[in-house]
C-alpha cells in the first residue's frame, strides 16, 4: 500500500514537472516568433502582397488596396476595375 502511494506521488511530480517544462517551452517559442516577426517586419517594410493586375510583389505599405484587391499603382487599379465592370446594355 505504501509503495503505491509513493509511486502515485512520483508520477504526479513528474507530470507536474513535464507540464511546467512544456509551458516554459511554449512561452519561449512564442517570444522567439514575436521577435523574429518584428525584425522581419521592420527590415522588409511589412508583409509582401501581389498586384492583382501585373502580379508583381511589393511591400504592403507601398501597395494600394481597393475592393479587397492589392495593386502596385493607381493605373493598374484603374485598368483592373475598368475590366471588371459589367457590360452595359
- Among 30-44, 49-63, 74-88, name the most confident range: 49-63
- Cβ-defined contacts of 73-81 (< 8 Å, 24+): 76/51, 76/52, 77/53, 79/53, 80/52, 80/53
Helix (H) or strand (E) holding 24: helix 2-44
pLDDT, mean of residues 16-32 = 95
More confident residue, 38 or 22: 22
Which residues, other chains included, contact 73 with Cβ-Cβ below 8 Å and sequence gap of 6+? 64
Predicted TM-score (pTM) of this structure: 0.47
pLDDT, mean of residues 19-45 = 82
Q: Measured on CA atoms in the order 39, 44, 49, 50, is the torsion positive or negative?
A: negative
Q: What is the DSSP letter of 61?
A: G
pLDDT surpassing 90 at residue 34: no
What is the band of 40 on the pLDDT scale with cuts at 50, 70, 90? Answer: low
Which residue(s) pair with 51 in the sheet? none
The SS3 assignment for 50 reads strand
| pLDDT at res. 29 | 94
Amino acid at each position: 500500500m505504501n509503495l503505491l502511494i509513493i509511486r502515485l506521488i512520483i508520477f504526479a511530480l513528474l507530470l507536474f514537472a513535464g507540464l511546467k517544462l512544456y509551458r516554459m517551452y511554449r512561452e519561449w517559442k512564442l517570444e522567439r516568433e514575436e521577435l523574429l516577426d518584428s525584425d522581419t517586419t521592420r527590415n522588409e517594410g511589412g508583409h509582401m502582397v501581389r498586384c492583382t493586375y501585373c502580379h508583381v510583389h511589393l511591400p504592403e505599405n507601398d501597395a494600394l488596396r481597393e475592393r479587397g484587391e492589392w495593386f502596385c499603382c493607381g493605373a493598374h487599379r484603374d485598368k483592373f476595375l475598368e475590366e471588371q465592370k459589367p457590360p452595359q446594355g
